[in-house]
Amino acid sequence: MAERRPVRVLPETVANQIAAGEVVERPASVVKELVENALDAGATRVDVVVEGGGAKLVEVADNGSGMDREDALAALERQATSKISTSEDITHIGTFGFRGEAIPSIASVSRFSIVTRIEGADAATSIQVIGGTRDWVGEAGRPIGTTVTVRDLFFNVPARRKFLRAPTTELTRIRQTLSAIALANPAVAFRLRADGRDLFRLPEGDALADRVRVILGEAVADVLLPIDHEQGGIAVSGFISKPDFVRGGTPEQYCFVNRRPATAVQVQVAVRDAWPVRDHRPVVVLFVDLPPEEVDVNVHPAKREVRFRRGDLVSAAIRVALAKALGATLPEPTPLGAQVPTLSPIGPLPTPQAPKPRQADLPLEGIVRGPYPSGAPTPPPPPTLEGLPQDTPLRPPKLADYPILRDPPPSVAPIQSPPPPPPETAPATTLPWKWLRVADVLEQGYWLVVTDQGYVVVDAKAALERLFYDRFSPAAGETIASQPLLIPETLHLPAADAERVARFLPELGACGFGVSALGQDTFLIDALPVAFAELPPKEILADIATELDQPGLRKGLDAWRREVVARAAAQAAARAFRVTSTQAAEPLLAELARSAMPYATPRGRPTMILTTYRELDRRFRRT
């Protein structure tokens, strides 16, 4: 039997440290809580200074309303807040903070100080707290507003401190957090200074479109479509990228509910359902505004997630808004509070109409249809009801009506593109088939290919990616060729992407990119690898920047170069895929057959799937 242990009330310091585990995960969490407090205080300017990725120092200064000494001391107590006073207020939250846990939680795991002054006060109040214990209370000089300084985060909780990432990684999280808050508040000026240098300055009174351009970068901002829809108390606004814009890695998706950076399952599902492209995700800056009583913001300790009272109506409104922005149409959602009509009994069903024939994504001209060679008999057409008495039985076709092909069709071309080269110079193929023929083009760009061993389904896009990779790859011992741009271009990148590019400038140069830093998050592009010659320079660098940390330097420069060529092949395949004619299918397959690795793309996605005749016999239980 386990030893009985008495129930004890935890000391206040321990309770605060436990609460800090829910509210303060990393330096970015500190920045989020302090900046949101500044905005709740009516600040129009917020300055953030960090050192060592925020682990050494996080300082947030604002020009808000400030606090007097009594309020400043009360703010250090748990569950002390000026945002709510009764339980009914929780259903009408209009501020960022309301739990009253952020300040005492942060102070319990750091060397904390706050200097704050209200209008009309002779001096500011200054309070210092070390590890949750009040150390000093006095006066200081400061204009109206508040400055909070957090030093040595988790100095007294080493188990938490060791889980912090590298300073550059933590700084990236801080930039992302502050960028999201800045998007939600374009009227407020923000400055972020890290280790003695300004990372960004955002002026007061920005238009949302201007702030989106600064934070997301020009390459993304140029392909965004505006979102503007309102129905029954639900307003949906913001921006979404065009369907043909492909961004490598995980594209930026910002969601704000009543100007609070947060999300909900209904929002994610609605964006996914409204997006018309399956193989990549959009860039989204989405604002959902609705009455406060319709949303519960008290679900997550850090307030990252919210819950809607009528999630189905909010989801429907988002789908309609995105469909309108993308040029599609969907039925309007039911307004909030509206009565849902009752369903009437089902009446007689309408007469069914013949479905319209579906068209393949690729044109069908030039494709030889059917597995039958020229001159071979074709099966009889299926019997119809026209002209037959109603009691006439219908007989399915007999197997004898169909020809049995045991030898290769005489019209099938060899695997090499005609005319074949002389035997002594004929390139060897890596595919095991003696002959092949494109039988049909299926939906979504798949080719159905008949061979002597079975039938093969080829992913045209993946096949092109493999072919372009083989064409772009330099020979052994050679470097990636570079091509100067006729007119160099400047590119302003988002904060996180700019940091990665600046960190890997030498490696980019070794891969054929001519990129140099011009200033704050701005770069000059004067050369590109030859493989990227026909692609937009701005889009290329912004796309590669999102993936720089994935291969990293741990795999060496050669792996880096292969990754660059693979990215070029994927970009080229994505553009050529939609315009490739079916007449070019067999020559492309012939080239694919000569590849050293025809069965997969450079990133490991299969290019083809073979189903042998032996497998068919087994599945149909012929043997």
Is residue 444 scored above 90 in pLDDT? Answer: no
Q: Show the CA angle centred on residue 77, arms to residues 76 and 80, nearest 5°.
A: 105
Q: What's the CA gap between 317 and 325, in Å, rounded?
A: 12
Share of the chain above pLDDT 70, in %: 70
φ, ψ for residue 501, nearest 5 deg? -60, -45
Each residue's pLDDT tens digit, 99-126: 557 888 899 999 999 999 999 999 999 9
Q: Are 29 and 302 contacting, i.e. CB atoms less than 8 angstroms apart?
A: yes
At residue 361, the 3 state secondary structure works out as coil
Which of the four pLDDT bands, split at 50, 70 and 90, describes residue 400? very low
| Rounded (to 5) percent helix, strand, coil in the chain | 35, 25, 45
Which position has the higher pLDDT, 46 or 452? 46
pLDDT score, position 58: 97
pLDDT score, position 583: 65
pLDDT score, position 64: 94
Q: Are 457 and 608 contacting, i.e. CB atoms less than 8 angstroms apart?
A: yes
Q: What's the CA gap between 370 and 317, in Å, rounded?
A: 46
Is residue 16 scored above 90 in pLDDT? Answer: no
The DSSP call for residue 42 is T
pLDDT score, position 82: 57
Question: Two tokens at 609?
Answer: 């799937």
pLDDT score, position 54: 95
Check the CA dihedral 126-131-132-135 and report its sign: negative
pLDDT score, position 349: 34
Is residue 484 scored above 60 in pLDDT? Answer: yes
**Sequence-ordered alpha helix ranges (H) in 85-207:** 102-107, 158-161, 167-184
Which position has the higher pLDDT, 69 or 558? 69
The four Cα atoms 95, 97, 100, 104 give a dihedral, to 10 degrees, of -150
Which element (helix H / strand E) includes 359?
none
At residue 33, the 3 state secondary structure works out as helix
pLDDT score, position 353: 43
**330 burial via Cβ count (<10 Å: 0-12, 13-18, 19+):** middle
Is residue 423 scored above 50 in pLDDT? Answer: no
311 backbone φψ class: left, alpha, beta (φ>0; ψ -120 to 50): alpha
Query: Residue range 591-595: average pLDDT?
Result: 85
Q: Are 568 and 272 contacting, i.e. CB atoms less than 8 angstroms apart?
A: no
Q: What's the CA gap between 372 and 351, in Å, rounded?
A: 37
| Strands (E) located in 82-132 | 111-117, 124-130
Each residue's pLDDT tens digit, 250-274: 778 899 998 888 888 889 899 998 9
Three-state secondary structure readout of 477-511: CCCCCEEEEEEEEEEECCHHHHHHHHHCHHHHHHC
Query: Residue range 520-545: average pLDDT?
Result: 78
Q: Which CATH class is domain 208-326?
A: alpha beta
Lowest mean pLDDT among 60-64, 94-98, 172-176, 277-281: 94-98
For β-strands 253-257 and 284-289, DSSP reports them as parallel
Query: Residue range 503-526: average pLDDT?
Result: 84
Q: What is the mean pLDDT of the chain?
A: 76
pLDDT score, position 477: 58
Instruction: Let me know how many helices (H) and strands (E) the chain has, helices first.
Output: 17, 22
Contacts of 32 (CB under 8 A, 6+ apart): 177, 181, 302
Q: For the domain with range 12-202, which CATH number is right: 3.30.360.10, 3.30.565.10, 3.10.180.10, 3.40.640.10?
A: 3.30.565.10
Which position has the higher pLDDT, 428 or 595? 595
Q: Are 20 and 29 contacting, i.e. CB atoms less than 8 angstroms apart?
A: no
Domain ranges for the chain: 12-202, 208-326, 364-373+409-623
Each residue's pLDDT tens digit, 293-321: 888 876 666 667 888 888 899 999 999 99
Distance set, CA 596 to CA 461, 466, 534, 568 (Å):
18, 10, 26, 19
Q: Are 424 and 437 contacting, i.e. CB atoms less than 8 angstroms apart?
A: no
pLDDT score, position 569: 81
Provide the whole-model pTM: 0.64
Is residue 336 scored above 70 in pLDDT? Answer: no
User: Between the ranges 163-167, 318-322, 414-418, where is the mean pLDDT highest?
Assistant: 318-322
pLDDT score, position 97: 54
Contacts of 183 (CB under 8 A, 6+ apart): 208, 211, 212, 215, 254, 256, 285
pLDDT score, position 597: 87
For the domain 364-373+409-623, what is the CATH superfamily, name and number? Answer: MutL, C-terminal domain, regulatory subdomain (3.30.1370.100)
Query: Residue range 553-578: average pLDDT?
Result: 70
Q: What's the CA gap between 153 and 160, in Å, rounded?
A: 9
Each residue's pLDDT tens digit, 76-106: 887 666 554 455 555 556 566 555 578 888 9
Q: What's the CA gap between 337 and 234, in Å, rounded?
A: 11
pLDDT score, position 99: 54
